[in-house]
Amino acid sequence: MNTGITFQSEFLGPLLNEEEVDQLWKKIVYEDSDLSYDFHYQMLKAFFKIDVELFQKVILDRYLEVTQEEFHLTDFPIIQPFTEKFITPLQSAKRCYCFGEFLATLELCAHIAEMLAQLLWESHSVTKGDEPLSRTDEKNIFGNKFEKLSQSRRLKILLGFNIINNDLKQTFDTIRKLRNEYYHLWSKEVKDIQLDSQTSFAEICKLIKDVFEIDLDGDNPSMNAHIFQFIKGHK
């Protein structure tokens, strides 16, 4: 697939391991002029948009917790809706986690999941007979436009139309339930909020990987065909 699409690389900061984080911290604390980690150092400054010399070590430690190879996102399509709906909130969610604003991370991850569910609906050509399903059809069939339904209802519809499978729905539900427990239940204790927000961020990144199916390695880059056509129609 010749995508013809521009991608933003490392938009969530560089992938680092524990040793690299320790070396970067030494560079910050001791103002080390060693250029070995200068590239990563500059990338961190660009990601956080503040002077990293003001950091505490715990911020870098949290950065490492939400920068694991298993779910780290590297390349993402740059078109206006995706910048607003995915790139910016993903960056905010990660920065919030690093700065200890765990409730904000939970909310942002749930928001991104809702945008992703709506993108899946918009990028699939659901029809009524031979005609695309209109907004009026959505209201008549579902009781409201798809975007105005609850996330739980959207996910059931996506599953019913085979746009997502049970595994994807379960990941969507994990993110949704984690957010709702903290924002709606008086009885929910906050002792696990850091771990839960870390889980939520990891799950939204995995979900985006699984849905977009972006593979830019080799001579034949590829991505989800439905989303590819959606992008082509919005460039």
Instruction: Show the tokens assigned to 234.
Output: 């919005």
Task: Give the burial string for 216-230 (b: 16+ CB within 10 Å, else e).
Answer: eeeeeeebbebbbeb
φ and ψ at residue 215, rounded to 5 degrees: -140, 105
| Cβ atoms 128, 137 nearer than 8 A | yes
Place of tokens 């694991």: 68
Question: For every one of its 235 residues, what pLDDT tens digit does the chain have, with 9 covering 90 and above?
Answer: 556 788 989 999 999 999 888 888 887 776 665 666 778 888 888 899 877 777 788 999 999 999 999 999 999 998 888 999 999 999 999 999 999 999 999 999 999 999 999 999 999 989 888 888 999 999 999 999 999 999 999 999 999 999 999 999 999 999 999 999 999 988 888 889 999 999 999 999 999 999 999 988 877 788 999 999 998 887 6
| Cβ atoms 142, 149 nearer than 8 A | yes
Please state the three-class secondary structure of 155-191 as a single string.
HHHHHHCCCCCHHHHHHHHHHHHHHHHHHHCCCCCCC
Which pLDDT score, from 0 to 100, does residue 33 have? 57
Which pLDDT score, from 0 to 100, does residue 32 have? 63
Its pTM stands at 0.92
Q: What angle do CA 113, 228, 213 make, to 5 degrees?
A: 60
